[in-house]
Structure 1
Amino acid sequence: MNSSLLDLLKNGGYILYARHGEATVGEDQPNLNFQYCFTQRNLSEEGKRQAIYYGEVLRSLRIPISYPILTSPFCRAIETAQLAFGRANVQIDPFGIAIYNLSRNISASEQERILEALRSKLEIIPPQGTNQVIIAHSFPTGIGLGQIPDMGTVIIKPLGQGNGFEIISKLSLSDIAYLSR
């Protein structure tokens, strides 16, 4: 990320859509239950470090954040948000389940319904002078915001309800960290 992008973020008006930190290898269980983290893939030790570091870097860059941080109901996303921004600053958004489902075998009409709802969410301009952070999941290649690495962030400029949004940049965690040098 270059200094002009950092300047834009410091003025607010963007959505930082981040994928959760690195998760353990394997799959979520067929009996996945959002109340029980043991039925899901969870953050690895590296993923926990990534989440803490992500919050530290955004604070050190003095990027103004609008609270609460919105997060998918999966334990790995919630824990990422809590480690990065503090337990009290996190709000679960059930829409994260729909984003997760884009990577599953769903009908074209269901996929389009989810992508339309995503577009609508990404058109919402954050409160004046702040940026909204959403922590959820990656997308299949060519769908939605596309593939996002662990703790990667897509910088989105919402254009207002019904006016769409613009993807400004896609950054890895190391790209974001590079700004703080």
Structure 2
Amino acid sequence: MSATSRRQVLQGSLALPLWALAGEGEAADDTLALLRQGGVVLALRHALAPGTFDPPEFKLGDCRTQRNLNDEGRAQARRIGQWFRRQGLQPAAVRSSPWCRCMDTATEAFGSSGAVQAWAALGSPHGRSEQTNEASRAQLRAALRAVPAGRFELWVTHAFVQQALAGQSTGSGDGLLLRAAPGGDVQVLGRFSVG
């Protein structure tokens, strides 16, 4: 990407998404610049939790009944937190789906559970369902619009919430860098991965 194109993205005048991998040269510089500029949210999918869906006996408050992070997922979450610390970046807020795999990703990456705010809008309003509703999407869009310049938030969520909010999703432990576009739409500025 040329310096002119990068400036256009940073100034918000380029409508096409910027695809950025956090560990690769110029793309990493773009990701860093956007996070430091603020007014954005990194919507991170929870780290690796093998399997699909939750077991039939699922209970939201009981991690023993849920699909959880494995050792690789916990290590992946720690790498995410290490990347942010190396860059000197601290989210203004860390919010998480109340599902254990999301809360564990957030706490492994960013410290004690007291630093992580559980937020139902980042989970499924229907228990085991992999769907989100318009009320949750409206809450997420409003919160995205409220993130001020110079600050960014990190939201740990699920692929289906990423898809419902931004029309895209990621692999485990990867994220979408989002900004509120004029008119209330959600703009995907790039993709984030620390590997």
TM-score class normalised by the smaller sequence: 0.7 to 0.9
Alpha carbons 1:19, 1:149 under 8 Å: kept: yes
Q: Which residue of 2 aligns with 1:76?
A: 101
Aligned CA-pair RMSD: 2.7
Structure 1 residue runs of 5 or longer lacking an equivalent are 175-181
Q: Which residue of 2 aligns with 1:169?
A: 190
Return the match for 1:150 from 172, 175, 183.
Answer: 172
1:123 aligns with 2:145: yes
Task: Give the alignment of 1:79-98 within 5 angstroms.
Answer: 79-87=104-112, 88-98=114-124
Task: Give the alignment of 1:1-181 within 5 angstroms.
Answer: 1=20, 2=27, 3-67=29-93, 69-87=94-112, 88-98=114-124, 104=130, 111-126=133-148, 128-139=149-160, 143-145=164-166, 146-159=168-181, 163-174=184-195
TM-superposed deviation, 1:59 = 1.3
In 1, distance between residues paired with 2:66 and 2:125? 16
Alpha carbons 1:32, 1:40 under 8 Å: kept: yes
Alpha carbons 1:16, 1:131 under 8 Å: kept: yes
In 1, distance between residues paired with 2:101 and 2:123? 12
TM-superposed deviation, 1:155 = 0.5
Count of matched residue pairs: 167
More off after superposition, 32-41 vs 134-143: 134-143
* Distance change in 2, residues 1:96/1:57 (3 Å): same
Q: TM-score, normalising length from structure 1? A: 0.78
Q: TM-score, normalising length from structure 2? A: 0.73
TM-superposed deviation, 1:122 = 2.6
SS in 2 for 1:123: helix
Q: AA paired with 2:56?
A: P
Query: Which deviations, in whole Å up to 9, do the C-alpha atoms of 1:6-40 show, x marking residues without a partner?
Result: 22212322111100100032541223212211110
Q: AA paired with 2:96?
A: T
**Among the aligned pairs, what percent are the same residue?**
27
Alpha carbons 1:102, 1:111 under 8 Å: kept: no
* Distance change in 2, residues 1:99/1:152 (3 Å): farther
TM-superposed deviation, 1:168 = 0.5
Structure 2 residue runs of 5 or longer lacking an equivalent are 1-19, 21-26
SS in 1 for 2:179: strand
